[in-house]
Amino acid sequence: MIKKIDEALEVIKSKIGGVPDVAVVLGSGLGGLAEYIEDKVIIPYEEIPHWPLSTAPGHAGRLVAGKFGGKSVVAMQGRLHVYEGYSMDQVVFPVRVFARWGIGHFIASNASGGIGYGLMPGDMVLIHDHINMMGKNPLIGPNIPELGERFPDMTYAYNRDLLDLAEDVARSHNLTTRRGVYVAFTGPSYETPAEIRMARVLGADVVGMSTVPEVLIAHHGGMKVLAVSCVANYAAGMTSNPLSEQEVLDEMAKAADDLTTLVAGVIEQI
């Protein structure tokens, strides 16, 4: 695995000078944030050895590096998912590359379904914990000490200082956020109403099909993690309306400006 990571990193470093301050993953319908990156260097995923291609709608499938929020950033304009048929190792391969590169901060965004009764489409939730219902963990298998310790503690996987900073930035821009617990299922089918009721009983506030594997690997690799979930719709069974992919993309298009403001403000103060 180290050999593959280093081969991918060698190609990226040949195009992007220096070590970025922050790595950002842009979720469904949120790729527009990359358009605000200045002095762009764009690398399509197909040009990076061993890097899987994004097939999900709303995921452009390219790395965008440059200046954002006054810092050096590299953004994944499109992530990988287990439901695309990729293994956990493939899904988290980019994050392993970022950690190996020495990037200190990792910011993930996603579109989610709102489980908590107080949440509405368009709300931004700062993830402070998660529940892994994927039935898989990307750390299963032989541990590679160069990438992290065998049994990483997950108590503070979501960095408390970054959570506090994100809330300060939100207040300064009159943005509303709340902290919440994210539950991840594999997809690609949306969750059933019964699964959503179960998740609510377990303490989840938002639900999606990503992010958790990335956070596990970022934390394992020593990166400070912030994750922001944009509520795209009410979760299954909370209304009589069926869920749709287009609804998610439409709502995320509306949320993109607020997310950009929030992420830029956090990066500026890191």
Token pair recorded at residue 136: 């898989």
Q: Tell me if 50 is assigned to a ligand binding site.
A: no
Q: Tell me if 249 is assigned to a ligand binding site.
A: no
Q: Tell me if 111 is assigned to a ligand binding site.
A: yes
Residue where the block lists tokens 């009721």: 197
Token pair recorded at residue 66: 């440059």
Q: Tell me if 79 is assigned to a ligand binding site.
A: yes
d(CA 124, CA 175): 9
d(CA 33, CA 166): 17
Does residue 242 have a cis peptide bond before it, meaning omega lies within 30 degrees of 0? Answer: no
Q: Give, in order, the Cα–Cα distances in Å from 76 to each of 35, 159, 181, 185, 204.
A: 12, 20, 23, 21, 26
Q: Tell me if 53 is assigned to a ligand binding site.
A: no
Q: Tell me if 253 is assigned to a ligand binding site.
A: no
Q: Tell me if 54 is assigned to a ligand binding site.
A: no
Q: Tell me if 174 is assigned to a ligand binding site.
A: no
Q: Tell me if 139 is assigned to a ligand binding site.
A: no
Residue 157: CB partners within 8 Å, gap ≥ 6? 129, 130, 215, 216, 219, 225
d(CA 152, CA 230): 27
**Beta carbons of 127 and 218 less than 8 angstroms apart:** no
Binding site: residue ranges? 28, 59, 79-81, 111, 191, 210, 233
Binding site for phosphate: residue ranges? 28, 59, 79-81, 111, 210
Binding site for a purine D-ribonucleoside: residue ranges? 191, 233
